[in-house]
Amino acid sequence: MKDRIKQLMESQHMNQLLFSQYIGISSASLSSIFNGRTNPSLKTVDAIRKRFPNLNIDWLMFGEGQMFLDGESGEGTPTPPPTTPGEGLVDFSNASDVASPSLFDQPAERSVQNTPKIAPQIVIKEVDKPQRKITEIRIFYNDNTWETFVPKA
């Protein structure tokens, strides 16, 4: 069914976001259907049926028959919902006819000068530790024996 939903979406020249907004479901739901994570729900099928009344439901659900009833192609039948004012649109009705200044009319910029980088000073502090003394030395031989040497106090 996901392939037929994609086919319907492409026949209406809509992208995934526009199609999901048009039928009234979240784009995440449509994406999960297309990616195969979920199957189309009754809500999804009903939303498609309401927005495309001439769509053959048998075709959508089972792949039987033509995509649209009465041999209609469905091209251009549905139109995307109008967006509300301020939703990604710019109102140019009140725009003045004043021309914006050309990029070539602007004064030349000053060139960038490299400033020397000042390396941060790294300070190494020695931690006062008590002086260590050797307590014993062991030498291991290849015949699995060893000798231990202890310094005289």
- Asked if 27 and 20 count as a contact pair (C-beta separation under 8 A), the reply is yes
Q: What was the pLDDT predicted at 1?
A: 86
Query: According to the model, what pLDDT value does residue 22 have?
Result: 92
Q: What is the pLDDT of residues 99-126, one digit of tens each?
A: 555 656 666 667 777 777 787 888 877 7
Residue 128: per-residue pLDDT: 79
Query: What is the DSSP track for 71-140?
Result: G---TT-S-PPPPPTTSS----TT---PPPPPGGGSPPPPPP-PPPPPPPPP---PPP-PPP----EEEE
For 90, other C-beta atoms within 10 Å of its C-beta total 6
pLDDT in tens, 121-140: 888 777 777 888 889 999 99
Cα–Cα distance, 72 to 59 (Å, whole number): 14
What's the CATH superfamily of 1-62?
Answer: lambda repressor-like DNA-binding domains (1.10.260.40)
pLDDT band at residue 145 using 50, 70 and 90 as cut-offs: very high
**Beta-carbon contacts of residue 13 (< 8 Å; ≥ 6 apart):** none
Supply the pTM of this predicted model: 0.46
User: Which one has a higher pLDDT value, 93 or 33?
Assistant: 33
* pLDDT confidence of residue 71: 61
Higher pLDDT, 7 or 76: 7
Distance CA 61, CA 68 (A): 13
The pLDDT tens digits for 51-105 are: 989 989 888 888 888 888 876 555 444 545 544 544 555 565 665 555 555 656 6
> What's the farthest any 2 CA atoms get from each other in the chain?
109
